Amino acid sequence: MPHDPILILDNVSASYRGLRALQGVSMTVAKGEIVAVVGANGAGKSTLLKAISGQVATEGAISFDGKPLAGVPGHMITRAGIGLVPEGRRLFPRLSVEDNLRLGAYARRGDPNRFKPLDLVFTLFPRLAERLAQRAETLSGGEQQMLAIGRALMTQPRLLMLDEPSQGIMPKLVDAILAAVVRIRDLGVTVLLVEQRLVEALEIADRAYVLQTGRVVMHGTAKEIAANEDVRRAYLGM
């Protein structure tokens, strides 16, 4: 069991669109870790992130930084320090890149330093700085993903959750985005990464959980999971 946990799920179940998508999931994420959640399509990975961010009703207990999240509305979960880069990115398509980023700090109105994370975002993704005035919908898939991560960083999260950041973007950019995830962690943000690309995810993760039909079927260090015969057979076709 990792020490200094920031996120604890205890026996969490959830239904999504009428289907039982999570069944008795327990997991722990410690401060400063990258934890990967892997599994096939429909294993419940996205529902897991929706459950943590308050978008689906859950049974069981989820606590963040020692405080229970039960009944806390989604926007308050964001303000508590959990940033989500959702499936499909969910940017504001007609707003400019700059507006999308600045809105990430909207909830911190009154804090004079609230736009400070912009520097970090532009260091991680210099392309965004070149496209500030462009509408979000005109960006390429990879750039949109960068913007979605940037917008989440503007909320100054302590836990950043990413839902399939490699989906629908060019392979070249996948590496750049995963490298950025490592840098974000190195700056002190804990990362929970849901990813279909098992090899790449396990490469950067410290620990991993394998989900199958809504249950945790395996967990351990990323090295252990990567070396596991069953996992390799089931997800890597080896």
Partner 1 sequence: MTAAHLLQVAAGGLLMGLVYALVAAGLSLIFGLMDVVNFAHGELMMLAMYAVFAIWAINGTDPLLLLPIVAVLLFGIGIAIYHGLIARALSVQFNRGMVQIFVTFGLAIFIRGACQFVWGGDFKSITGHWLAGRTIELGGVFLPLPQMAASAICLAAFAGLLAIGRTEFGRALEATREDRDAVALIGIDRNRIFALGWGLGAGAVGVAGVMLAGFYYVGPNVGASFAVIAYVTVALGGFGSMLGALVAGILIGEVEAFTAAFWEPSLKQVGVFAVYLAVLMLRPRGLFGRL
Closer to partner 1 by CB, 12 or 91: give it. 91
C-beta of 8 vs 154, nearer to partner 1: 154
Least Å distance, CB 107 to partner 1, is: 3
Contacts for 101-110 with beta carbons within 8 Å, 24 or more apart? Answer: 101/128, 101/147, 101/150, 101/151, 101/154, 102/154, 103/151, 103/154, 104/150, 104/151, 104/152, 104/153, 104/154, 104/155, 105/154, 105/155, 105/156, 107/75, 107/78, 107/79, 107/155, 108/155, 108/156
Contact 18, 43 (CB under 8 A): no
Question: Cβ 103 to partner 1, closest distance in Å?
Answer: 5
Closest contact distance (angstroms) between CB of 210 and partner 1 is 26
76: left (phi over 0), alpha (psi -120 to 50) or beta: alpha
**Interacting residue ranges for partner 1, rule: CB under 8 A:** 53-55, 73-79, 83-84, 86, 90-95, 99, 102-104, 106-109, 151-152, 154-155
CB of 192 to partner 1, least distance (A): 15
CB-nearer residue toward partner 1: 18 or 237: 18
**Residue closer to partner 1 (CB basis): 27 or 84:** 84
Decide whether 162 or 222 has the Cβ nearer to partner 1. 162
The position carrying tokens 């990879």 is: 142
Nearest distance from residue 77's CB to partner 1, in Å? 8
